[in-house]
Structure 1
Amino acid sequence: MKGQKSLLQRIASEREIERIIVAYCRGIDRRDSELVRSVYHDDAIDDHGGSFIGGPDEYVAWVMDHLLHFESSMHTLHNILVDIDDDDRAQAESYCVAHHVRDTGNDELLMDVFACRYVDRFENRPGVGWRIAHRIVVAEWRLRQPMLSLAEQPQGFVRGARDHTDVSYLDHLPRRLAD
């Protein structure tokens, strides 16, 4: 019967939608344009406030360029609430805190922290599945603070990369030997 999902189907849909939201954050932090693009339907709208409003292809081009201003970024998700409307529509609200590291050019780093909510309408379309059809980013607050210099950052750790060379993309984890 249309509109009547079993509990298991609803849980599976909610999980898929949550996975898409997480994939978006990974794609942004790793500057993976294909992954970011994959979370949107072709006719989706992304509304990033006064910075960008438009379709997914234009958004991906804009955000990949915008991310070049940062040495690194980390989007952390907190509360994610998914409401399945029926078999092919859902609403989601996700709390996010985005940390953006800026190099000041004199061995000092600045951390821009932006708290927002992603308010999304998802649609489940034949042959594609669940994807974002419309996203509005709701700004909550922002702060900027100094960070430790690069020389004072933890040593000996694998460093994150903002592309497919990041360790999270490897088929197997490399064995590292302690000094």
Structure 2
Amino acid sequence: MSPETVSLEEAADRLAIRELVDAYAHCADRRDAQGQMALFTADTRFLIYLDRTSDQPSQELHGRESLAPVFDNLNTYDVTTHFNGQSTIALDGDRATGESYCIAHHLYDVDGQRTLMKAAIRYLDEFARQPDGSWLFAERRLMVDWTETRPSTP
């Protein structure tokens, strides 16, 4: 794909999807579970793979309302920072697929010791354009590639 072959509509769709991916991370770090849930279709699927070698998800959720406990779980951390990296998007009319990378930092206390857990995450997404032209997650697979936990000194 060269820049001169990208239509304005395609560029706008790609930007809107990237903004959706970034809004997810922003809501997570601001502990805005309701805002995060609003980024998903009503009939969404959300699959979490904690073991990258398994074909079976560790957790599978169906429907927007089922996401609340997962997003609320971020409140167990003192602070998080989700840093989004590269992403790819394939558009197909009112549907799209994508893969995006994220390094998630989770800071919390363990027996008086400040602790940092980092997770390398890949999101495998399916997106759906809504009647108003906006894009939402129709399916999100959260793939944990690796984690690191260690003491953290301020």
TM over 0.5: same fold?
yes
Deviation per residue, 1:36-59 (Å, 9 max, x gap): 012101111111135531122111
In structure 2, the residue matched to 1:147 is 152
1:124 aligns with 2:129: yes
In structure 2, the residue matched to 1:110 is 115
TM-score (norm 1): 0.74
What does 1:11-22 correspond to in 2, within 5 Å? 11-22=11-22
Contact 1:52 1:59 in 2 (8 A): no
Task: State the secondary structure of the residue aligned to 1:48.
Answer: strand
In structure 2, the residue matched to 1:91 is 97
CA distance in 1, matches of 2:149, 2:111: 16
Q: Aligned letter for 1:134?
A: E
Contact 1:82 1:93 in 2 (8 A): yes
1:134 aligns with 2:139: yes
In structure 2, the residue matched to 1:43 is 43
Give aligned-pair identity as a percent. 26
Indicate the structure (1 or 2) with the bigger Cα radius of gyration: 1
Structure 1 segments of 4+ aligned residues over 3 angstroms from their partners: none
Contact 2:125 2:139 in 1 (8 A): yes
In structure 1, the residue matched to 2:53 is none
CA distance in 2, matches of 1:46, 1:56: 9
Contact 1:110 1:146 in 2 (8 A): yes
In structure 2, the residue matched to 1:28 is 28
In structure 2, the residue matched to 1:74 is 81
Q: Which is strand-richer, 1 or 2?
A: 2
RMSD over aligned CA atoms reads 1.7
Q: CA deviation at 1:104?
A: 1.7
Q: CA deviation at 1:99?
A: 0.5
CA distance in 2, matches of 1:127, 1:8: 18
Task: State the secondary structure of the residue aligned to 2:24.
Answer: helix
CA distance in 1, matches of 2:19, 2:82: 14
Unaligned stretches of 5+ residues in structure 1: 1-5, 154-179
Higher relative contact order (CA 8 A, sep 6+): 2
* Match among 47, 55, 60 for residue 53 of structure 1: 60
CA distance in 1, matches of 2:80, 2:136: 23
Task: State the secondary structure of the residue aligned to 1:61.
Answer: helix
